[in-house]
Structure 1
Amino acid sequence: MLKSLRKTAISYSVGLTALAVAMSGSGAALAGEFVAMLLPENVNPRWESQDARFFVEAMKEVAPDVEVEVFNANNDTATQQRQAEQALTRGAKVLVVVPIDGESSAIIADSAAEAGVPTIAYDRMIHSKNTSFWVQADLGAMGGSQAQHVVENTKKGDTLVLLKGSPTDPNAAVIHNGQLEILQPLFDSGERVLGYENWTQGWDPAIARRSMDQALTKLNNNVQGVVSSNDGNAGAAIASLAEQGMAGKVPVSGLDATVQALQLILLGEQTQTGWRPFKDMAGVTANVAARLVKGEGVDDLTAGTVKNGVEADVPFVPVGHYSAVGEEGVAYVIENDTSISKGDVCQGAAAETSFCKN
């Protein structure tokens, strides 16, 4: 994939770190220059509590005169397209888009280009020749880390379940392909057995829960590892395992390092989660957006290009990642993620763990 590197709108004022105003969706244009950030859904708390928050904060630092308006499409592609049109009509200078669907979101980038407005694909790629920039971690490597963790905590002949991401999210396939780089040779050789796999439409934990229930029924609980593509799926798998008295006995991977995932790791029920420096991602995006608002170039901020689904070369900045395992992993995330504190994690049952008592 790498070419040179291998139905509600919510508004934030720049500088605010919490929800500012609930908008009707038809308000007047903002008085000054503004950038629109389009989020895909609120099933995963990271979009509003981390990505949007950090982006707003970073924009305040690099472009204090530019306002930020944040929309959430609640997993509806038509809504996201309407929100983009609304932002363009109001005079947005840059669109920062986390697409629900990498293909259908092309209309957003194309409409923006017609209006002379650049589009930054944030986290997920937009498959349009008019995608101006892409900010992302190496999700293939993160998928590989998930799979490697489960492999290292299972043995020859063990049966694995794969709870994949949303089929409409281009990142889900990248994560899964990274998993398969580790797992497919083991499946082919019989070192591990693929017992069940399923996609999770919209990354909905309720769907992941049904998948895990079906897996346990089909396999008569003969499951020794769960390669879960994100923390929502992981939490759903753990709830299903708990009903069978299996929680904490089966390695379960994840992604996003949510507070719930860190708590489950301390409780010994989730065994791994991937963490990305969302603050760094948002900071890079803010720097790019600020340059684009001014009509300045961004070549010095990129590390090469990637080809998207329509073979367009998109300038790309990779962001690192960390595989969090055990108390050490939880401590690392808390230390490096300013949106999560030890107090946040040490709630409920997790408060009784040795990590939280020390």
Structure 2
Amino acid sequence: MFSKLSKGLLAGSVATSALLAAGAATAENMVALLLPENVNPRWEQQDAAAFLQTMKEIAPDVTVEVFNANNDTATQQRQAEQALTQGAKVLVVIPIDGESSAIIADTAAEESVPTLAYDRMINSENTSFWIQADMFATGAAQAQHVVDNTKSGDTLVLLKGSPTDPNAGVIAAGQISVLQPLFDSGERKMGYENWTPGWDPAIARRSMDQALTQLDNNVQGVVSSNDGNAGAAIAAMEEQGMAGTVPVSGLDCTVQAQQLMLLGKQTQCGWRPLHEMAAAAAQVTVRLLNGEEYADLATETVQNGVGADVAFVPVTSYSAVGAEGVAYVIDNDPSITKDMVCQGEAASTAFCQ
């Protein structure tokens, strides 16, 4: 489901089914979208924007309140309580912490309000729905790209994600599934690894600076868990005259990441159709508002960290490499255009001519 990508916000079949589901929504309905932070531009510029646009199309009488917790779990919990006090009928939550966010779903359940986990799982028995790509496969693709572009004996750096983000651990596990056999055999060397609390690029930059110092710049590949980490690693290597000589993976395919890819400084990024994730979240939200079944929207059931069965919609993902990967993302991501990518230094690349 949701594998058909298009330049429009929704594929026709998705829009049709959602419109049919929207009929019973009323002006008295309010839903809350709780974002984790604004360090990564995708949350506000892509996920929230697409969710708001989809809700406007399929349920124009529903009010959507958007909150951003700025990477503070206590703030996110207070925002959830505020939303419930304001009368929210559904919570769509991108948790900062998959464990502590359970209190959000549990508190909402006490008021008979369902909680939808978007992107990151919420480890609560009261999580109604989860929407995400296969992050293990995404991590494996990141690592495989770096392996394919390094040689026997080369030294790698791993810049992992936020330790409180459930996805970060899954991504790292996917990476290690590829890398550990090579580390064990000596085909590749683990030079340095570190987590990045809050996915903060400033922390990733410090980690990369430390890695370069400890290894005396003897780094041939960077397995980075997202584009923010990748950009930080590239900035650190730029100072050492290494940028563009070392493969660097990423995730999200932000405009900046695509520009770096065209310049040959970032070499890979994992892309997910965030507009389709948001569309799926909107469809489920409207079904929940209307008290309707949503089993047809879920293709799988997964168990979360507390053993609860959660309806799951997996979305597709794509490993974008080089200019060809940039072209794919531009063709399939309605939030990004060639004009946006072809700015600054990237404008002089062959792709942009």
Structure 1 residue 31: Cα displacement: 6.6
Match of 1:50 in 2: 46
Match of 2:186 in 1: 190
When structure 1 is superposed on structure 2, of 132-141 and 54-63 the one drifting more is: 54-63
* Equivalent residues of 2:205, 2:229 under 8 A apart: yes
Deviation track 1:277-325 (CA, whole Å, cap 9, x = no partner) reads 0011001110000000011111111112111111111110100001111
Q: SS state of the match for residue 248, structure 1?
A: coil
- Which structure 1 residue ranges, 4+ long, deviate > 3 Å from structure 2? none
* Equivalent residues of 2:222, 2:249 under 8 A apart: yes
1:224 to 215, 220, 223: 220
1:324 to 306, 309, 320: 320
Rounded Cα–Cα distance in structure 2 between residues aligned with 1:239 and 1:257: 17
User: Does structure 1 residue 116 correspond to structure 2 residue 112?
Assistant: yes
1:274 to 254, 270, 276: 270
Structure 2 counterpart of 1:86, which letter? Q
* Equivalent residues of 2:146, 2:222 under 8 A apart: yes
2:98 to 97, 102, 108: 102
Structure 1 residue 64: Cα displacement: 1.6
Match of 2:76 in 1: 80
Rounded Cα–Cα distance in structure 2 between residues aligned with 1:193 and 1:63: 53
Q: SS state of the match for residue 257, structure 1?
A: coil
TM score, norm. by length of structure 1: 0.91
Match of 1:241 in 2: 237
1:294 to 290, 296, 299: 290
Rounded Cα–Cα distance in structure 1 between residues aligned with 2:351 and 2:27: 49
CA RMSD in angstroms, aligned pairs only = 0.9
Structure 1 residue 32: Cα displacement: 2.4
> Aligned runs of 1:1-358 on 2, under 5 Å?
32-357=28-353
Rounded Cα–Cα distance in structure 2 between residues aligned with 1:31 and 1:92: 12
Rounded Cα–Cα distance in structure 2 between residues aligned with 1:326 and 1:217: 28
Match of 2:14 in 1: none
Rounded Cα–Cα distance in structure 2 between residues aligned with 1:272 and 1:34: 39
Rounded Cα–Cα distance in structure 2 between residues aligned with 1:112 and 1:297: 19
Rounded Cα–Cα distance in structure 2 between residues aligned with 1:180 and 1:333: 26
Rounded Cα–Cα distance in structure 2 between residues aligned with 1:338 and 1:78: 34
TM score, norm. by length of structure 2: 0.92
Runs (5+) with no aligned partner, structure 1: 1-29
Match of 1:16 in 2: none
The aligned length equals 328
Rounded Cα–Cα distance in structure 2 between residues aligned with 1:285 and 1:62: 12
Structure with the greater relative contact order (CA < 8 A, sep ≥ 6): 1 or 2?
2
Q: SS state of the match for residue 312, structure 2?
A: strand
When structure 1 is superposed on structure 2, of 276-285 and 62-71 the one drifting more is: 62-71
Structure 1 counterpart of 2:103, which letter? I
* Percentage of pairs with the same residue: 75
Rounded Cα–Cα distance in structure 2 between residues aligned with 1:293 and 1:235: 40
When structure 1 is superposed on structure 2, of 101-110 and 61-70 the one drifting more is: 61-70
